[in-house]
Structure 1
Amino acid sequence: MATRTTRQSRQVRARVGASIAALHDGVAHRSELRAAGLSRHDVASEVRAGRWQRAGRHTVVIGSGCPTGEALWWRAVWETGSGAALDGAAALLAAGLTGFAPETIDVSLPTDNRRHTVAGVRRHRRVSPLPVVGVGIPRVRPELAVIHAAQSARSDRQAALVLCLALQQRLVPPAALLSAWQGVTRSARRSLIDSVVRDVCDGAQSLGELDFAAHCRGRGLPEPSRQAVRVFPNGRIYLDVAWDEIGLVVEIDGGHHALALNPVDDALRQNEVVLGSERVLRIPVLGLRLDPNAFLNQVVRAHRRWSRELPERLAPASG
């Protein structure tokens, strides 16, 4: 079959290009343009005229300028190689994640497929095919993408952040993340990711309290009581840890504390304790993972200060 050389009018090119680009945030794949009736000569004419721009072997910007936003994701998938799909943080952003800005676009593709270097794109070869979301831009399923994002993050803090954001924004159900993590056999951040995943998925309240008690022993502090009870007019309140003799309370906040109405309940509980003349320090359980010394320094300072004040508080009022 001979290749069609008849060229479409400028109006037809504009209409076809715009309809395809609307699906991809301003870019089009050459194969889609051909399937819609435009020849390579039509595309070349628009590019020469400056109305369209080349952005790779397959990607055409319908308009002037460079691809931005979601168009960069489409370009990364189209230009990297056959079978490519967004992975890591890029896959999460495509699924709706907010509050996270990776420096590169992560893309996974099968090991045996031909691959190409694309500026701003980090490639990952996967021996086994990964489950991919079938709607919209090809992307790895969120429960795997978030683990890959944590593994390739710049720092432990960034790894913990992306795990927390994905769960808090309901992109990944906790059970799905736990199941996906249990299937990971190798990870350079195994200890950290394992701790964070269990913290944010399970709440890990009791684990946080036990870890905190061990930290206190290491700092030479007396071991606090756990699950201390306070009785208030509206009922009983269970505190995570407390030094009753000096009126110091520490609340260990697991990942579930940031969900739904939990912050409201936490605030009411803390206010009641403070109104009862006790001091409250709060420590996110992730703080014990990422920066325990900073939080323990605060606890030590509080314990020393209020231990010094205890005799004055217990002394009978004069007169």
Structure 2
Amino acid sequence: MDDQGTRHSATDRRRIIDELTATAAQQGGVVSRAQAYAAGLTRGELRAQLRARRWQRVWSRSICLHTGPLATRGAQWAAVFEGGDRAMLDGESSLIASGLEHYRSEAWRVSVPRGVKPLRGAGLDVRRTRRWSAEDRVATGVPRTRVPVAAVRAATWARSDKQAALLLTLPVQQGLTTAADVGRALLAVRRDRRRELMHAVVTDLVGGVRSLGELDVARQCRRRGLPVPDRQVVRRGKDGRYYLDVCWDDFHLVVEIDGIHHTWASSVVPDALRQNEIALGRSTVLRLPLLGLRVAADDFFAQVERGLRAGGWGRAA
């Protein structure tokens, strides 16, 4: 019997469970308690399934219709259910749900509008955000923010500048969005401590990679008391002319600036051939990712100084 004293027949109970099973198949094996009750399952029947260990609880508002390991997609749906009707995965959690690879999150971040109670639990992080908007929500699949919006928010919430730059770069690199779309999403951020960094990274992704990187290297060298390099020096190779990003001919040192385009398949072979030609010409080649300029400049320029010293440069006494 249910809480009002109505008993389901075995046939009705089987029909209800079949309906819930079909729903769960679309949600990583999980249904919300609200979905279970809406399908006709009584609270008593739900408790019976849990006591018999046919099903298992997921946080406070979801049920997994098996007792094996919870699927990632099921955890995502359950996290959203914890936040209520207007909840959506956000930030890095939304990126993972949208297909981001080679990245893991410690907890499922869920955004809810003002007025909804935040929740914390093992593997769960439900928070209110003033930037919540229904227009940012993906229309299909697990409720989540659109990739460009998620990337920008993930960067603002990141634990470090390095992680922020990575979260802006990976979705573009993996083809989940475009740099231009991330740039448009970034325009909505009026105030944030990382706003300047994020604009710099997105500018690198959108274009102007070489010129921006070369200017930054020259600026950093002046600030650190290192000799200013030559830029866009022409060399001739087996297949014609090619350009070096920055070099110090007198000290046999070349720095190749790697933007995101250097990770694309179409660039891998030409870049390798060019680097080999330079090395065969007795120059040292250092690689400087643009992200390195943003998050680890001191480490990279310490290597540049070592390369210059190895080539014969020394600071004036």
Q: TM-score, normalised by structure 1?
A: 0.89
Offset, 1:166 = 0.9
Task: Give the distance between the partners of 2:5 and 2:193, measured in 1 at CA.
Answer: 53
Point out the more displaced range, 213-222 or 287-296: 213-222
Alignment of 1:29 with 2:32, yes or no, is yes
Contact in 1 for aligned 2:230/2:246 (Cα 8 Å): yes
Output one character per residue of 1:288-310: Cα deviation in whole Å (capped at 9) or x when no partner.
1111111111111111111279x
Task: Give the distance between the partners of 1:127 and 1:256, measured in 2 at CA.
Answer: 32
- The match for 1:6 is 7
Contact in 2 for aligned 1:133/1:141 (Cα 8 Å): yes
Amino acid at match of 2:7: T
Change (3 A) 1:287 1:40: same
- The match for 2:130 is 126
Change (3 A) 1:308 1:143: closer
Amino acid at match of 2:6: T
- The match for 2:119 is 117
Amino acid at match of 2:195: R
Output one character per residue of 1:223-265: Cα deviation in whole Å (capped at 9) or x when no partner.
1110000012310011101112232111111222212411222
Alignment of 1:224 with 2:243, yes or no, is no
Alignment of 1:233 with 2:234, yes or no, is no
Offset, 1:4 = 8.0
Q: Secondary structure at the match of 2:227?
A: coil
Alignment of 1:83 with 2:86, yes or no, is yes
Change (3 A) 1:205 1:6: same
Amino acid at match of 2:65: I
Point out the more displaced range, 239-248 or 134-143: 239-248
Amino acid at match of 2:37: R
Contact in 2 for aligned 1:77/1:84 (Cα 8 Å): yes
Contact in 1 for aligned 2:83/2:126 (Cα 8 Å): no
Contact in 1 for aligned 2:87/2:112 (Cα 8 Å): yes
Contact in 2 for aligned 1:76/1:118 (Cα 8 Å): no
Point out the more displaced range, 250-259 or 80-89: 250-259
Offset, 1:176 = 0.5
Alignment of 1:48 with 2:41, yes or no, is no
Contact in 2 for aligned 1:111/1:127 (Cα 8 Å): no
Output one character per residue of 1:266-302: Cα deviation in whole Å (capped at 9) or x when no partner.
1111112222222211101111111111111111111
Q: Secondary structure at the match of 2:81?
A: helix
Task: Give the distance between the partners of 2:112 and 2:47, measured in 1 at CA.
Answer: 30
- The match for 1:242 is 247
Task: Give the distance between the partners of 1:99 and 1:157, measured in 2 at CA.
Answer: 16
Task: Give the distance between the partners of 2:265 and 2:68, measured in 1 at CA.
Answer: 43
Instruction: Give structure 2 stretches of 5+ with no counterpart.
Output: none
- The match for 1:135 is 140
Task: Give the distance between the partners of 2:131 and 2:284, measured in 1 at CA.
Answer: 54
- The match for 2:65 is 62
Q: Percent of pairs identical after alignment?
A: 42
- The match for 1:107 is 110
Point out the more displaced range, 25-34 or 239-248: 25-34
Q: How many residues align?
A: 307
